Every structure is written in structure tokens, then in C-alpha cells.
């Protein structure tokens, strides 16, 4: 299922980017920006037992609209792989810029992640679920030309999830998990 998700995200990003590039002269009134970002994750998984060190990678795709010259809002989807866990967040993206062109920016995302854990793939008495997703960070945009900006950012991500343990048909125990991660991302902003 995750292979289909990866293919869908890549296919969607390529089609949207191609369509946007073809219509650049026509989009003066409704300017949409597309962000394609790759990141490296490092952090811990917190549970009631003990913290577990986690590493991984992620891919994000978002579409946003510029309001004025300093504020951007949009929606996004991502794929995050953390060793045994995989998450697919869907989120609202907010970006604030200090100036147009080259310069720093802050960004925040809030949403929900669908989750999967390879350890619970074939478990009969337990299941793994995703949960709330939150990310905030700072970055810097380097203008390449009028159509492209290279992005570099550092973000904090908080990802919630749950492991449900069953006794028969009823839930006997719910274990809440929190993933606290630092993410270093590079990307491209298509204007």
C-alpha cells in the first residue's frame, strides 16, 4: 500500500509541476506555489517504557497561495519513513516571510498522519494507528530565477500515534506514542 502512496505522491507532484509550468503566464491572478522537499529525520520515540532513538527520511509536497508579499497558506501531503514506522501526513501549511526574494521564513504545519508499523503488520491482538501531526521551523529561500527558489530549513516535528491492544473484540489497553524529531530539509519552490 505504501508503494502505491509513494507513486501517487510522485505522480501528483510531476503532473502538478508540469501543469503549473505550462500555465505560468496565465496564473498572474491566482498565483499558486508548489513546494517539493526532501528531509532527513533524527529524534526519539517517547512511550511509557523508555525513549527509543529514531532516524529516517521524508518527502513533502504542498501547494500554497501567496497572500500579500509576506504570508503564504496552503495544504500538503507527505511520506515519512522511520525505520519500522511509516507515516503519511496531510496538513495545513502556513509560511511567513520577512521579505520577497532571498530571505528567511518561518513555517508551521498542522494535520493528521495515517500510520503503519511493520512490527504490527500481522499482529492479531494489536494494531498501530497514526495521529496528530505538528511541525514548525525556520528556513531560508535562495531565488534561482522568477520561477524557482531553492529552500533549506530545519524543523521540529511532533507526531502522535497509538498502539491498541485487544482482548477479543474490545480494546484492552491503548499505548500512546509520541515521536519528537528534528528534520533538515532541502527543496524547491515552484512559483
pLDDT over threshold 60, residue 38: yes
Determine the average pLDDT of the residues in 54-59.
Answer: 95
pLDDT over threshold 50, residue 16: no
Give the C-alpha distances (Å, rounded to integers) separating 25 from 45, 104, 122. Answer: 47, 27, 52
Per-residue pLDDT at 72:
92
Determine the average pLDDT of the residues in 127-141.
Answer: 95
Give the C-alpha distances (Å, rounded to integers) separating 102 from 10, 20, 37, 97, 109. Answer: 27, 22, 18, 10, 22
Amino acid at each position: 500500500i505504501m508503494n502505491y502512496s509513494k507513486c501517487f505522491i510522485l505522480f501528483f507532484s510531476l503532473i502538478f509541476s508540469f501543469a503549473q509550468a505550462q500555465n505560468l503566464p496565465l496564473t498572474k491572478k491566482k498565483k499558486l506555489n508548489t513546494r517539493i522537499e526532501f528531509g532527513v529525520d533524527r529524534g526519539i520515540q517517547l512511550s511509557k517504557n523508555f525513549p527509543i532513538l529514531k532516524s529516517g527520511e521524508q518527502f513533502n509536497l504542498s501547494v500554497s497561495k501567496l497572500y500579500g508579499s509576506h504570508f503564504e497558506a496552503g495544504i500538503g501531503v507527505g511520506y515519512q519513513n522511520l525505520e519500522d514506522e511509516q507515516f503519511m501526513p496531510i496538513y495545513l501549511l502556513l509560511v511567513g516571510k520577512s521579505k520577497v526574494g532571498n530571505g528567511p521564513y518561518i513555517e508551521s504545519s498542522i494535520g493528521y498522519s495515517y500510520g503503519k508499523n511493520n512490527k504490527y503488520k500481522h499482529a492479531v491482538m494489536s494494531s498501530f494507528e497514526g495521529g496528530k501531526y505538528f511541525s514548525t521551523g525556520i528556513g531560508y529561500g535562495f531565488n534561482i530565477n522568477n520561477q524557482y527558489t531553492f529552500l533549506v530549513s530545519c524543523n521540529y516535528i511532533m507526531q502522535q500515534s497509538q498502539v491498541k491492544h485487544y482482548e477479543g473484540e474490545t480494546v484492552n489497553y491503548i499505548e500512546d506514542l509520541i515521536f519528537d524529531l528534528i528534520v533538515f530539509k532541502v527543496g524547491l519552490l515552484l512559483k
